[in-house]
Structures are given as structure tokens and as C-alpha cells.
Amino acid sequence: MKAADVHQRTSEAFSAYVEGDLPPEERARMDEHLASCTQCRVSLERFRRTVGRLGALKRRAPGDFLAGVQAQINRRSRGRFFGKRHMLFGRIPFEWLSLAMIIAMLVYYIVVLQTSPTGVVPAK
């Protein structure tokens, strides 16, 4: 196997290696490779530092974060998204229009079914 392939396979397994998810035989192969390869050891240390720093970024968003994002989307979309909706006036939400159409089709089907002939009368 080419050295580049070994380095690629090793770097792809860094996450599983650090988390301890590698099977024992793969972990032993990786330990053996890391013992002899300075490049992969340096890359693994960079990976560990990066993951550690990313873990430190976990913090809650401010309470008004979602409202601010929605307001910015509303402003940039010129009111098409996240605008105030009125029940009787203004834009009708698509979901309500779809529900009304389904109900209208159901009523039509029931009326047509009830008024259609149910049996054939033989001619005399």
C-alpha cells in the first residue's frame, strides 16, 4: 500500500481513534503507524487541539437570537417570510387553503356519490 494511502486512511480514522471507537486490531495498526510516522502524529495532535477548541465553543445562543434571525430574514425577503399573519385579512396560509380544498373535494365526492343511481332497473 502506498504511503499516501496509509496517511489518508490514518487521518480519516482520527475521530474514531480519539473517541476509542476503533476495533482493537485497527487501533493496534494505527498505534504502530503513529509510532513510526511523525507527520501523522503531528496531524493527530492538531486534530485533538481543534476538537478541544471546538468543544469550548459550546454555549447557549442569546435569548433574542432566533427573533433577530427571523427579523433579518423578514427584512431581506421584503416581508415574504416571518411576517405577521392575520386570520381574516392579508395572506392566507397555504396550509389553510389546502385544507379547505380537501374538505371541498370530500363534500363534492359525498354529494355526487349520494345522488348517483345505485342500481340498474331492467327495462320492460
| Per-residue confidence (pLDDT) for residue 100, from 0 to 100 | 92
Q: Is the pLDDT of residue 9 over 60?
A: yes
User: What are the phi and psi torsion angles at 45 (to 5°)?
Assistant: -65, -40
Q: Mean pLDDT for the chain? A: 82
**25-34 — which CB contacts under 8 Å span 24+ positions?**
33/6, 34/10
| Per-residue confidence (pLDDT) for residue 102, from 0 to 100 | 96
Residue type, 93: P
For 12-60, what is each residue's pLDDT tens digit? 888 888 888 889 898 898 888 889 989 989 998 998 998 888 877 777 8
Q: Is 26 within 8 Å of 6 (Cβ atoms)?
A: no
| Per-residue confidence (pLDDT) for residue 106, from 0 to 100 | 94
Domain 3-56 falls under CATH 1.10.10: yes
Which of left, alpha, beta for 121 (phi over 0: left; psi -120 to 50: alpha)? Answer: beta
Looking at per-residue pLDDT, the higher value among 118 and 76 belongs to: 76
The ranges assigned to domains in the chain are 3-56, 65-115
Q: Is the pLDDT of residue 92 over 70?
A: no
Looking at per-residue pLDDT, the higher value among 7 and 21 belongs to: 21
